[in-house]
Amino acid sequence: MNSLRWLDITIIIVYMVAMLLVGRSFARRQTTTEAYFVAGRSIPAWAMGVSIYATLITSITFIAYPGSSYAGNWSELVPGFMVIGVLILVGTVIIPFFRHAIGMSVYEYFEKRFGYTARAYSAFAFAMGHFSKMGFVFYTLAITVSSMTGWNIYFVMIATGAVTIYYTVIGGIEAVIWTDVIQGFIKVIGIVVCLGWLCANMPGGIGAAFELAASKNKFSLGTVDFNLTSKSSIWVMSLYGFFFYLQKYVADQTLVQRYLIAKNDRDALRGVALGALLCVPAWVLFMLIGTLVWAYYQLSHEVLPAFVDKPDKIFPYFLTTKIPPGLAGLFMAALFSASMSMLSSDLNCLSVVGVEDYYRRIRPNTTDQHRLFVGKLIVAICGALAVLVAVIIAWKSERVLSLWFITSSIVSGGLAGLFLLAFLSPRANRHGATIGIAACLLFTTYATLTSGKDRVLDFGAWNFPWAGVLIGVVAHVVLLTVGYLASLPFAADPAATRAMTLWGWLDRRRAERGN
């Protein structure tokens, strides 16, 4: 494909320099772990909300959503709608509960309920899942940028990684939040650029595109048939989306950490609500872009070249060949920002987990300054390893990535189920939780290895029978159910554990209102 023009390259360079400068502007304020990990709990609600939006809209969203709607319909959008339902359920209870129940790590809560084993497991599961995602994001970003510009794929990965690691190491969570704010606005510009060009240049006008897309059911959200074997079923995607975002909001450090950086409970709720309300329209617009790109090629009768052989390649090809100089650079900056916002957030959260959930346990008598140094070191090491993983994937092919995804999906399953067990049942105890975790691991191992067309194991009629996206849903239910039943033969934990459940939280609220 064509290389980017000088104006586009200038825009990308200016963007990268701006990220470095933002990181440096916060460097001197990172003098304690409280500042480095939760920004002294002083971030305004609107900035927190934009940061959540920027973190959830990744480069995968930029490529996969348009590719999905180009090739099919809008069924992949259904899970995103579930974020609103989850927010309504957890917003008024979980957010204030976490702000008063934990310090910096969400996995501290699991230790208070079920002991350190549950904390270590849940923190490890989070780290495995997010570390695999970081390597994948570096890889997909580099593949996309290389296809659009001709730049060396390894150069793109290393350069992007170096900038992201640098501003995250020196600037802490404040640099992450405020670069996210900038990156969030850049993403909006990228969306507007693409939609504006498509509306202005659509053969036959934008009305013709909508009419053609509607006639081909391109706006369909899937079938309403209750068929658990098909990803095209609205029921399947709704279940998947509900439990995916439930785990995000109750057991994912990247989101729970956002609750903790707000000034007060009300600001935390407002920020989380704003983040969700920004994400849903963005997901819709990315789907719309993919549908309009499909309509453009249908109406123009333009033949795609042979190397554009997958849906995920369509949108990058369209950008490279159609978007004029300057505007293409703006979208490229948006693409970089989509990756870097998620990567910087994950790096800071992995640092929190490393320091709070593991290092302080191993060396409890260290000073805060020492832990701050270790936190920065973890950011640098994890960032470098994520780049290395991406390089290995590019070098050895995506088989390495598939193996890692199988492993991480097995380990990271069930965290929402573990939270529900801890939060809803005062009767649940550490013995039951441990058995529930073991049952969840056994189930996810079986289901992951026996599902899909390229299954690793084939047990015939005993293979996992439903759509692969439901593995996580069932894993949560398995952990919750087995964990509760396995708790019954053992003595209940002390009554003080009730304070760490929904019922204890409701008791406190009633007492506060009575006073």
CB 427 within 8 A of CB 487: yes
Q: What are phi and psi of 214, to 5 degrees?
A: -65, -40
Q: How confident is the model at residue 390 (pLDDT cuts 50, 70, 90)?
A: confident
pLDDT tens for each residue of 232-282 = 899 999 998 899 899 999 999 999 999 999 999 999 999 999 998 899 999
Tell which residue, 332, 304, 339, has the closest CA to residue 318.
304
Query: Confidence band (pLDDT; 50, 70, 90) for 401?
Result: very low
The residue among 63 and 2 whose pLDDT is bigger is 63
Q: What is the mean pLDDT of residues 2-31?
A: 87
User: Would you state the pLDDT for residue 146?
Assistant: 83
Tokens 């058995």 label which residue? Answer: 435
Res. 413 pLDDT band, cuts 50 70 90: confident
pTM of the model: 0.91
Say whether pLDDT at 71 is over 70.
yes
Q: Which pLDDT does position 109 carry in this prediction? A: 95
CB 274 within 8 A of CB 253: no
- Dihedral of the CA atoms 405, 57, 127, 168 (nearest 10)? 130
pLDDT at residue 400 in the model? 47
Greater model confidence, 129 or 471: 471
Domains in the chain and their CATH numbers?
6-20+58-75+104-218+270-397 (1.20.1730.10), 413-509 (no CATH)
Residue 262 backbone phi and psi in degrees, to 5: -75, 160
Which one is predicted more confidently, 63 or 483?
483
- Find the range with the poorest average confidence among 55-69, 146-160, 301-315, 491-505: 491-505
pLDDT at 411: 60
Residue 495: pLDDT over 70:
no
Distance from C-alpha of 332 to C-alpha of 326, rounded to nearest angstrom = 10
Determine how many CB atoms are found less than 10 A away from the CB of residue 458.
Answer: 9
Model pLDDT, residue 394: 81
The angle, 0 to 180 degrees and rounded to 10, between the axes of the packed helices 265-300 and 206-215 is 90
CA–CA separation, 420 and 412 (whole Å): 16
The residues near 3 (Cβ < 8 Å, ≥ 6 apart) are 149, 150, 151
More confident residue, 1 or 366: 366
From residue 106, alpha-carbon distances to 119, 220, 254 in Å are 9, 38, 9
pLDDT band at 56 (very low <50, low <70, confident <90, very high): confident
* Digit-coded pLDDT (tens) for 434-459: 999 999 999 998 998 898 777 888 89
User: What's the mean pLDDT in 302-330?
Assistant: 84
* Strand, helix or coil for residue 43: strand
Mean pLDDT of the chain: 89
DSSP H helical ranges for 72-152: 78-90, 94-101, 107-114, 116-149
Percent of the chain at pLDDT exceeding 70: 95
Instruction: Report the pLDDT value the prediction gives residue 439, as an integer from 0 to 100.
Output: 96
**pLDDT for 453:** 78
pLDDT score of 412: 66
Q: What is the pLDDT of residue 1?
A: 43
